[in-house]
């Protein structure tokens, strides 16, 4: 909407309010300052092989084996390559091979999501994911078949709320709601969330 010229048609707001769900008690309104929602990168990775009948595995290249090893390795990135103080998520939630029970598939698809609050952590996670896929390709000598394909499904920046505007909104919310909203920071919001900001006002401080 912003890229399509929204603010050439309506005034630029001083504050844009977005709402989302978190694990709070019913009836609780919370306002957060600073990093509040993670950056999100979701990928579909296609691993190619050589299709054929399972009775002749010697002339087939099974992409499912490579995909399985990739998933196992990706799931250890956060625990083995990320500092405990750096919130991070690398989740492989979908694996699919287009075939039947007696046929080695031509390819296998993996869908995964990467999330972090801090850009340097997020960038490193993306780099590690790509490094793992390339490394497994070399181990299984699949490079002679086809190179893997990375398709971006979702790419969102983190939501970083301006502290001054957060305090202003907190005071106004108290007047409207009759109670002071709970204040939360990114360290307290331990569950990453997908948040699609419909309006990103140019004057708001966010990255």
Q: How far, in Å, CA of 167 to CA of 190, rounded?
A: 22
Query: Angle at the Cα of 150 (from 147 to 155), degrees rounded to 5?
Result: 165
pLDDT in tens, 131-177: 998 888 777 766 656 777 888 899 888 888 888 888 888 888 778 77
More confident site: 201 or 8: 8
Residue 204 reports pLDDT greater than 70: no
Q: How far, in Å, CA of 59 to CA of 62, rounded?
A: 10
Structure tokens that stand for 37 in this block: 């929602």
Residue 194 reports pLDDT greater than 70: no
Going from N- to C-terminal start, the domains of the chain cover: 9-36+159-184, 39-156
pLDDT in tens, 59-98: 888 888 889 999 999 989 999 888 888 889 999 988 887 7
Residue that is written with structure tokens 């790509």 in the block:
130
Torsion, Cα of 86, 92, 93, 94 (10° steps):
160
pLDDT at 158: 85
pLDDT in tens, 33-48: 788 888 899 999 998 8
Which overall architecture, per CATH, does domain 39-156 show? 2-Layer Sandwich (3.30)
pTM value is 0.71
Query: For residues 78-96, b (16+ Cβ closer than 10 Å) or e, as one string?
Result: beeebeeeebbbbebeebe
What's the distance, Cα to Cα, between the start and end of the chain in Å? 17
More confident site: 15 or 182: 15
């Amino acid at each position: 909407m912003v890229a399509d010229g929204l603010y050439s048609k309506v005034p630029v707001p001083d504050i844009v309010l977005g709402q989302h769900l978190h694990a709070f008690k019913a009836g609780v309104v919370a306002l957060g300052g600073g990093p509040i929602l993670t950056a999100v990168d979701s990928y579909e990775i296609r691993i190619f092989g050589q299709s054929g009948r399972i009775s002749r595995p010697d002339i087939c290249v099974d992409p499912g084996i490579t995909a399985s090893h990739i998933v196992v390795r990706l799931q250890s990135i956060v625990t083995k390559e990320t500092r405990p103080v750096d919130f991070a998520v690398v989740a492989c939630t979908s694996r699919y091979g287009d075939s039947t029970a007696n046929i080695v598939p031509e390819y296998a698809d993996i869908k995964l999501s990467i999330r972090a609050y801090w850009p340097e952590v997020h960038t490193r996670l993306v780099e590690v994911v790509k490094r793992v896929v390339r490394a497994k390709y070399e181990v299984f000598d699949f490079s002679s078949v086809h190179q893997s394909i990375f398709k971006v499904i979702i790419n969102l920046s983190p939501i970083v709320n301006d502290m001054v505007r957060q305090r202003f909104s907190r005071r106004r919310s108290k007047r409207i709601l009759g109670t002071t909203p709970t204040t939360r920071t990114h360290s307290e919001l331990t569950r990453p969330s997908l948040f699609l900001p419909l309006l990103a006002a140019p004057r708001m401080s966010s990255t």
